[in-house]
Structure 1
C-alpha cells in the first residue's frame, strides 16, 4: 500500500452497525442532525427514515429535550429553552398558532392554514374548506382547533370546531387528514362552548374543558374527541372538594392528561391532577404545590400554567411580565421577566423530525 492509499485508509470513517448509529443519532438535537445529513449518504438515508423520526421524537419526549414555550406578545416573540432555562428571542414570524402536536404547528396566515415544523423548516399548505353555515343569517362566533396523531395509520389530524351566533350555538366540525390531504365533516360538537381554543392531545384524543348542563346546574367536564373513530366522549373532572375553582387549565405531562388549579386555599397551595389511566376516571392522582412568594389575589388573577416539565417542575405565569419556575415542593427555582408583553399566549413545543408531508 502506497502512502496515499494508507492516508486515505486512515481517514475513512470506521464501520459502525446501523442499529448502534441509529441509537446514537436519535439522542442528538434536530439542528445537529440536519448538518449530519451532509456527512455521508448512509447517515442521510437513516435520518430521513420515518422510523428514525418516530424514534427521535420519543427520545425527545422521554428526555424532555430542547423543548420550548413560545410566548407571543404584541411587540416581540420569546421562547423558553429548557436546556438553558432562559428566555431567548424567537425568529418566529407574526403568525397565529392554532394547534400543535409532536413538533408540528398549525399556523394561520390570514385565511390560509399551514402545517409547519419549525425545527426542520419544512411545511405544507392545508387546502381550504369553506365553513357551512346552518342558515343564511348565521354568523361565526368563534373557531377552535386541535392537532393530534393517530398512530395506527400514522395520520396527523387537524380538527376545526366552528361555533355560530345562533340561540343554541350550533356547530360545524371538520377534520383534515394528512394522509388523504382532504377535509371531512363529522358529527357536531355535542357540548357547550369549549373553555380554551386549542385542544390538548393525549392518549389518542383531543381534549377541551366544557360546561355541561346537568341536574339544573352547569358542571365542568373534559370533552374529548377520539381520533381513532372521530367519536366524542367526556371525562369527569377530578374531585376538587366542595369549592370548585373558577379558573383551571389542562395540559400534558409524560403524555398523560393533567388538570391544573391555581391557589384557592388559605395557605396559597395549588394542585395538579394527573390522569394515570385514560380509560379509568378514578385514576386521577394529585400533586400539591405550596407556591411561595405569591399571595392569593395575585395567584387567582395571574397564575397560569405554561408547561409541566420533568423532573417535577412546572413553569407558570405569575403576572403580566413574569414567568417563574417551581419544583413540586413549591420552591421557586428562577424568575424570568418578559419585556414589552401585555397580551401573550403560550404552548409547549418539542423538537422533532416529523415531516408535515407524510403522504
Structure 2
C-alpha cells in the first residue's frame, strides 16, 4: 500500500465502513492522521451519499440493550449482520446510565438525544463520540418540532427547536431556537407560519439544505403540507403540498429522494407511499404503492418507516414491542425482525448514517 499514490489510498479508504476505519487508525501514524482528518470524514460521507452501492444507513433503536439495525442486510436475508449491539453514550460524568427519552434529530451520522434527565446530547454512534449541550429556553415537554441540519455556508451543524407554545400571542408566530455546534450556544429567532400548524413532538428530516416537518392548514383536519426551514438562512420557507391528505404520516429519506408514508383515514383505509426526487412548491410526487392499512398492523404507536433498495418498507411499529416488520407491497410478503428489549417496551428509534463526522 505504501507504493500507491496518496490520492489512491484515500479513494480506496472512502469505500470502507466507519467501523473498519476506526480500527485502521492503529495501522500507522499516517493512517491515523488521515482517517482523523475532518476533510477525509467529509469525503467518506460524500461517498456514502453519492454511491448507491454503499450501504451505511442504520436504524438506531433505543431499547435495552441499544441496537443498530442494518435493514438492507435484513432485506437481503443476511441475518448475521442485521443487529449490532451498542453501548449508550456516557455523556453524564456523574451517571453511568443513559436512557433515551426522545430522538430530536439526525444528520450526517450525528444523532441528537433528549435523555430521561432532560439533557440534550449530540452523539455519533459510529465513533462513540458525544457532546452534552446547554439547555434550550423552550420546554421540550410542550408542543414542539425539532431537527438537526448542516449549514454548508459555515461548515457547521445546527440543532433547531420550533415551538408555538413559547412564541408571542400572535397565533402565526413560532419561536425558533438554534444551537450551533461551532459556537456551542443557543440563540432565538422568530418565525411566522400564517395559516399553518406544525405537527407536534416530531423531529424533521434534513434534505437539500432544509429541515422538513409535516403540518396542516388551519382549516384541515389532516396533514396536508410539508413545512421547510432553511438551515442557512434560519427561516421558514413556503409550505409544499403533500400528494394526499393523511390522517397520520411520516417523512423519510431514501437514497436522494424524499418519501412520505401515510394512512388516509383512522380506520378501514389505505396506506400509501409516495416519492419525490426534487423539492419545491411544484414538487412532483410519484405514488409507489397503496395497500389496505390493516396489512401493516398500523396503530397510534407506529412511527418510523423507511424504504429499502428492494422496495420493501421497514416499519418500526412501537405498538408491537420488540418487532420490526419488512413488508414487500408487490409480493404482499412480510419479514419479522425480533429485537431483544429488557426496558420500556415503547422505545424510540431514528435513522442515522454511519460516518466519521466529529463533534469537536
TM-score range, shorter chain: 0.7 to 0.9
> What are the ranges of 5 or more consecutive residues in structure 2 without an aligned counterpart?
75-81, 89-97
The equivalent of 1:31 in structure 2 is 19
- Pairing partner for 2:203 from 198, 204, 208: 198
Alpha-carbon spacing, 1:87–1:44, altered in 2? closer, same or farther (3 Å): closer
Match of 2:79 in 1: none
- Using the size of structure 2 for normalisation, the TM-score is 0.79
2:145–2:213: 8 Å Cα contact kept in structure 1?
no
Alignment-derived partner of residue 147 in structure 1: 148
Task: Compute the displacement of 1:205 (Å).
Answer: 0.4
Tell me how far 1:26 sits from its aligned partner: 0.7
Aligned to 2:10: 22
1:91 aligns with 2:87: yes
Deviations 1:248-285 (A, max 9, x none): 11111123322112476999864222222113524212
Counterpart position of 2:309: 310
Q: Give aligned pairs, total.
A: 332
* Contact in 2 for aligned 1:268/1:296 (Cα 8 Å): no
Render the CA deviation track for 1:66-121: whole Å, top value 9, x for unaligned.
43212234x55333223642344442341333211110012234343222212112
The one of 111, 130, 137 equivalent to 1:123 is 130
8 Å CA contact retained: 1:142, 1:164: yes
Which one of the candidate residues 173, 178, 186 is aligned to 2:176? 173
Q: For structure 1, which runs of at least 5 residues remain unmatched after alignment?
A: 1-12, 134-138
SS of aligned partner of 1:157: strand
Q: Tell me the secondary structure at the aligned position of residue 215 of structure 2.
A: strand
Residue 78 in structure 1 maps to residue 67 in structure 2:
yes
Give the superposed CA RMSD. 3.3
Larger radius of gyration between Structure 1 and Structure 2: 1
Of 26-35 and 257-266, the range deviating more from structure 2: 257-266
Q: Aligned pair in 2 of structure 1 residues 113, 49: CA closer, same or farther (>3 Å)?
A: same
Range 103-112 or range 295-304, more displaced:
295-304
Scaled by the length of structure 1, the TM-score of the pair is: 0.80
Cα distance in 1, alignment partners of residues 223 and 20 from structure 2: 49
